[in-house]
Chains A and B, each alone.
Chain A
Amino acid sequence: MAENTSSSLAAGGMITEAGSSKKYKTGEWRSERPEVDKKKCTNCLTCWIYCPDNSIIVENEKMVGFKYTHCKGCGICANQCPVKAITMKEEGVE
């Protein structure tokens, strides 16, 4: 449970800092996890363009993985991947 008291929260629960959604670990919502087969991946970065949560990690213009702290497991990356390099795996099975 959160510790903030009624009197310590900003009026109306307003958020008084920019970019605070970073602190909200939406990865906890995920029921399916994307995984990439780098042998198939062409680094076209279509996944990076489509990801609604900025959770595709790119280094030196190459797709290197997923930011699981914020990936909600929506599956858009897997759906859009033109070479079917991304697959969705059920969480908590393996």
Chain B
Amino acid sequence: MSEPMAVNGDMAIAMAWKQINPDVVASYPITPQTIIVEAYSEFVADGLVDTEYVCAESEHSALSICVGSSAAGARVATATASAGLAFMWEMLYVSASMRTPIVMAVANRTLSGPINIHCDHSDAMGGRDSGWLQIFGENVQEAYDNTLMAFRIAENMKVRLPIMTCLDGFIITHALERFELLEDEKVKAFVGPYQPLRPLLDVKTPTTYGPIAMPEYYYEIKYQIVTAMMNAMDVARQVMKEFAELTGRKYDLVEGYRTEDAEYLMVAMGSTAGTVRYVVDQMRAQGKKVGAVKVRMFRPFPSEDMAKFLKGKKAVAVLDRAMSPGTGAPLYMDVQSSVSRMKDAPVISNYIYGLGGRDIMPGQLNTVFEEIMTGKGERVNYLGVRL
């Protein structure tokens, strides 16, 4: 039996890596991710893992080392946040196109400026179109569970794409929560040994990774990522099913809460999903027909799953912890396009909130529900900003 303990989200991820014991971890510390690589470097120093740990001189180098190591045939993990992820931007596209299944924890932190170390999703949204898989956790337990599942999803031969395991900076990374660690043997059996695909170090099977592709080939090679993304949906479902059999914790790409007879829904990602459920319970007690939808997998975006939840509803509020100045925010755009061919689709409004780590309060979400129930609110709303 696994014993409940109290750890923060960063430590939970370091503990997951320790159980998986990747061949290479190359990283550069940045708040609020630092605890992950700090703790992991201690595991390495104490001989608890045999990982080759590389202290890179920058995030660009860290991810470059990960790409090279993965191509060489290694199982690789790294972590970053905010400006660090932005500095990796070039290599995000390279790693996805080279099909290196790197697992990277992203401790979601806003992007400068103004400079700010606190939570929002704008860093991960910068990697939205890079070809990386992206899964978001709601709490410490999910940060750990998502990490274990991430290795399976990314490394599957039908997928072979890098994956970001996203957790809200400080809210999850630094908060102590009740947490259950799986036994080492169970994790090892679930994740399994790494299977490289044409590793560079196999000199009997010579391979060139990342060759130039001129206009005649570039498009076809990029399209492979589309195919891999489509495959990732079923692979992720299967991995989540096996994980539920192992732990009893049931996950899905998109998860509904009291949605069946609901007329109004609120969609959220990350730690706010818990606050939304709390508000749903409060309003249900008052007889309001409201429900919550949590997005766990953001890339690939499970449009069909989302459409099923939204079908027949009157109105939907999509909460985005990121903005796209001049238009709607990323999650809203994906939710809206999920129902673009649906007859009598619900009215969908975007609520941007929590930027730069500002807390989101249940009362505010209550007001959002009231707004969509009465047809008020703009298409895109900036919740709580002082105008």
How many A-B contacts if CB must be within 8 Å? Answer: 54
Decide: A6 near B208, CB < 8 A? Known: A12-B98, A12-B99, A16-B198: no
- A interface secondary structure, majority: loop
In the docked arrangement, what's the CA distance between A2 and B217, Å?
7
- When distances are taken between beta carbons in the complex, the residues of chain B under 8 Å from A11 are 99, 160, 197, 224
Assess the B209–A14 pair: CB atoms within 8 A.
yes
- When distances are taken between beta carbons in the complex, the residues of chain B under 8 Å from A15 are 207-208, 211
- When distances are taken between beta carbons in the complex, the residues of chain B under 8 Å from A10 are 198
A7 contacts B by Cβ under 8 Å:
yes
Assess the A1–B209 pair: CB atoms within 8 A.
no
- When distances are taken between beta carbons in the complex, the residues of chain A under 8 Å from B198 are 10, 14, 16
Assess the B220–A9 pair: CB atoms within 8 A.
yes
In the docked arrangement, what's the CA distance between A6 and B227, Å?
9
A60 contacts B by Cβ under 8 Å:
no
A83 contacts B by Cβ under 8 Å:
no
Assess the A9–B207 pair: CB atoms within 8 A.
no
- When distances are taken between beta carbons in the complex, the residues of chain B under 8 Å from A1 are 216
Number of A residues whose C-beta is below 8 Å from B? 17
From A7, A9, A18, contact of B206 by CB (8 A): A18
Query: Interface digits, B294-337 against A, CB 8 Å rule (1 contact, 0 not)?
Result: 00000000000000000000000000000000000000000000
Assess the A12–B221 pair: CB atoms within 8 A.
yes
B210 contacts A by Cβ under 8 Å:
yes
In the docked arrangement, what's the CA distance between A12 and B224, Å?
7
Assess the A13–B217 pair: CB atoms within 8 A.
yes
Decide: A7 near B208, CB < 8 A? Known: A12-B99, A13-B213: no
- When distances are taken between beta carbons in the complex, the residues of chain A under 8 Å from B205 are 16
CB distance from B83 to the nearest CB of A (A): 28
Assess the A7–B211 pair: CB atoms within 8 A.
no
Assess the A17–B217 pair: CB atoms within 8 A.
no
B97 contacts A by Cβ under 8 Å:
yes
- When distances are taken between beta carbons in the complex, the residues of chain A under 8 Å from B99 are 11-12, 14
Near A by CB (< 8 A), chain B positions 170-192 give none
Decide: A16 near B224, CB < 8 A? Known: A2-B217, A4-B217, A11-B197: no
B278 contacts A by Cβ under 8 Å:
no
- B interface secondary structure, majority: loop
In the docked arrangement, what's the CA distance between A2 and B216, Å?
6
CB distance from A53 to the nearest CB of B (A): 16
Assess the B97–A12 pair: CB atoms within 8 A.
yes
- When distances are taken between beta carbons in the complex, the residues of chain A under 8 Å from B207 are 14-16
Query: Which A-chain residue is minimally distant from B224 (CB atoms)?
Result: A6
In the docked arrangement, what's the CA distance between A9 and B216, Å?
12
CB distance from A43 to the nearest CB of B (A): 35
In the docked arrangement, what's the CA distance between A32 and B208, Å?
31
From A4, A17, A18, contact of B220 by CB (8 A): A4
Query: Interface digits, B195-223 against A, CB 8 Å rule (1 contact, 0 not)?
Result: 00110000001111111010011011101
- When distances are taken between beta carbons in the complex, the residues of chain A under 8 Å from B211 are 13-15
In the docked arrangement, what's the CA distance between A2 and B211, Å?
16
- When distances are taken between beta carbons in the complex, the residues of chain B under 8 Å from A2 are 216-217
* B198, B219, B227, most chain A CB atoms within 10 A: B198
CB distance from B241 to the nearest CB of A (A): 26
Near B by CB (< 8 A), chain A positions 72-93 give none
Query: Which B-chain residue is minimally distant from A8 (CB atoms)?
Result: B220
- When distances are taken between beta carbons in the complex, the residues of chain B under 8 Å from A16 are 198, 205-207
* 19 examples of A-B residue contacts, CB within 8 angstroms: A1-B216, A2-B216, A4-B217, A6-B224, A6-B227, A11-B197, A11-B224, A12-B98, A12-B99, A12-B210, A13-B217, A14-B198, A14-B208, A14-B210, A14-B211, A15-B207, A16-B205, A16-B206, A18-B206
Listed from nearest, the 6 A-B pairs whose CB atoms lie closest are: A15-B208, A6-B220, A13-B221, A18-B206, A6-B223, A12-B99
State the B residues within 8 Å of A (CB): 97-99, 160, 197-198, 205-211, 213, 216-217, 219-221, 223-224, 227
List 13 additional contacts besides A11-B99, A13-B211, A16-B206; criterion CB under 8 Å: A4-B220, A6-B224, A9-B220, A12-B98, A12-B99, A12-B221, A13-B97, A13-B210, A13-B217, A14-B99, A14-B207, A18-B206, A20-B208
